[in-house]
Structure 1
Amino acid sequence: MTQTTTLIIGGSSGMGLATARQITAKGQHVTLVGSSSTKLEAAISELGESAEIFRTDLRNASDVKALIEQIKTSGRHIHALVNAAGTFSPKPFLEHGSEDYDSYMDLNRATFFITQAVAENMKANGGGSVVNIGSMWAKQAVRATPSSAYSMAKAGLHSLTQHLAMELAPHGIRVNAVSPAVVVTPIYGAFIDPDQIEETLTGGFDAFHPIGRVGRPEDVASTITHLLSDDASWVTGAVWDVDGGVMAGLV
């Protein structure tokens, strides 16, 4: 019998790891992909035999090629995929350099071709479900965090979600996305002292959300696991706002 797994790209921390915790708590297997060996080892130490890990730098073409080859030859049915990898470093548009731009677009390129390989796996095994982690910034500019290249990349991911939903539906593959606002995750460590992320975000952005607080990884993970499940079997091509009411409350 073919073994099944949920592949989580960017699964060693933040929303990806929170999703892995919820999936393994249901007795299901996960495969975590991340760039940090330390974080991956910590994750597998926590999750135990329900998880396996694969270290990949998504900005490294050779690493991405190796991961795609692993997807093709592992013998596992990847019945679910979560594209959770990301980077976020606000910078004014007029100060963006090519390296800043490439840091986001390289991730999108890797996501595109990894998802393609997974979709082939799903097609061969009767279907599956994909959830991409997009962003509120793809829909709404925020003056306090100028993020033109990041937002363009995430808008592209939202669009990819809808196109793949249309193209892959005949193969029994659903594709959706979540669009979070501010969530307390290590991604902010690119420009905030990692030890100060909690204090900085709760102090500066709680009031930004109509619901009165910033998000937690588990808030988004719960929606991801729902979209992956059969409970959402009639949902595809959706980009769900999981944002504490930000998009509803903007005027």
Structure 2
Amino acid sequence: MTTAIITGGASGVGKATAAKLHAQGYRVALLDRDADGARNSAGALAPDGATAIALGVDVGDAAAVRDAVEQAVGAFGPVRVLVNAAGVPMAAMPFHEVPAQEWLTSYQVNVMGVVHMAQAVLPSMRAAGGGVIVNVTSVAGQRARAGLSAYCAAKAAADSLTRTLALELATDGIRVNAVAPGSLDTPMFARFLKPGETMEEAMKRYLPQIPLGRMGTAQEMADAVAWLISDKASFITGQIVTADGGRAL
């Protein structure tokens, strides 16, 4: 069995991806700063912990990430797959009102979280003879959105990092790609709303921008991630697969 680490495993795309890979026969380690949520997700997959475990960790903390990866390797063996699905949104606000801490938090999780995880798993992947990294970024990294300056900038950086890692790690037999979701029907979506905005008002604002006329689902993103990991995508690296219902168009 192949070992996969999935960050953001407590909910949303991370949780759906962990379930998808586990169903395909992977041993999965679910990382999330919501330790209880991650344990619930892992417990639903393997109550005995034989093929799914949860580790509470903030991906913005490099030392904690290294410890978590060591625990995952100790439990399941060398890591061949890393899915960076952990991320933080931001409430829409004018650029001049965005506090410095919002920028720091966005970059610490959405960018440095990817950096910390990739650096931590590289020794294991290299020892195993290769692997696959998939970063869950966002269409916001490609299509600017007023009011989301810190988030858009961080996701654009994550896209660029994906391409750079693909170049650097190709000789190690490690493929690196990203899935860039659009608006998803997940718990995180509510955190993008404008102050005082209702979900109904948000739908009137968002849906006209999506050619397919609906929100995406975590399961659809998990399917895209699983395809990039699979041998069917064995000649694909350095790509950002946009899964947004056509919104970026």
- The two structures share one fold, judged by TM-score above 0.5: yes
TM-score (norm 1): 0.88
- Give the structure 1 partner of residue 107 of structure 2: 105
**Helix, strand or coil: the match of 1:246?**
coil
Quick one: structure 1 residues 197 and 170, their matched pair in 2 at CA, closer, same or farther if it must change by over 3 Å?
A: farther
> Which whole-Å deviations, capped at 9, do the CAs of 1:166-225 have from their partners, x for residues lacking one?
1111111000001111011122343559xx997565454223210111111011111100
Shift of 1:33: 0.1
Cα distance in structure 2, aligned partners of 1:198 and 1:176: 32
The offset of 1:62, in angstroms, is 4.6
Map 1:186-197 to 2 at 5 A: 186-190=187-191
CA distance in 1, matches of 2:25, 2:76: 20
2:43 aligns to what?
45
CA-CA distance at 1:77 after TM superposition:
1.3
Give the equivalent residue in structure 1 for 2:67: 66
State the 1:162 CA deviation: 0.6
The answer as to whether partners of 1:177 and 1:240 remain within 8 angstroms in 2 is yes
TM-score norm. by structure 2 comes to 0.89
Q: Distance in 2 between matches of 1:23 and 1:199?
A: 34
Q: Unaligned regions of 5+ residues in structure 1, if any? A: none
CA displacement, residues 62-99 of structure 1 (integer Å, 9 cap, x when unaligned): 53343354467666111111000111113221011121
Query: For residues 156 and 6 of structure 1, do their structure 2 counterparts lie closer, same or farther at Cα, with a shift above 3 Å needed?
Result: same
CA RMSD of aligned residues (A): 2.3
The CA distance in 2 between the partners of 1:162 and 1:37, in whole Å, is 31
Partner of residue 134 from structure 2, selected from 126, 131, 134: 131
Q: Letter of the 1:121 partner, please give it.
A: S
Q: Deviations over 1:144-168 (max 9, x none)?
A: xx11111111111101111111111
Q: Distance in 2 between matches of 1:236 and 1:125?
A: 19
Corresponding residue of 2:34: 36
Residue range with higher mean Cα deviation, 32-41 or 60-69 = 60-69
SS of the aligned residue for 1:247 comes to coil
Q: 1:115 to 1:122 in 2, by over 3 A?
A: same
Question: Counterpart in 2 of 1:94?
Answer: 96
**Same amino acid, percent of matched pairs:** 35
Question: How far has the Cα of 1:59 moved from its partner?
Answer: 3.6
> Structure 1 residues 207 and 97, CA, compared in 2 at 3 Å: closer, same or farther?
same
Question: For residues 21-32 of structure 1, what are the structure 2 equivalents within 5 Å?
Answer: 21-32=19-30
8 A Cα contact 2:35 2:54, kept in partner: no
Match of 1:121 among 111, 120, 124: 124
Distance 1:98 1:120, change over 3 A: same
Per-residue CA deviations over 1:106-135 (Å, capped at 9, x if unaligned) read: 112232022012122111101011100111
CA distance in 1, matches of 2:86, 2:240: 17
In 2 relative to 1, CA 197–161 (structure 1 residues): closer, same or farther, beyond 3 Å? farther
Q: Within 1, Cα distance between the matches of 2:20 and 2:202?
A: 24
Evaluate the alpha carbon distance shift between residue 228 and residue 96 of structure 1 in structure 2; reply closer, same or farther with a 3 A threshold: same
SS, match of residue 248 in structure 2: helix
- Distance in 2 (alpha carbons) for counterparts of 1:236 and 1:60: 27
Deviation larger for 164-173 or 64-73: 64-73
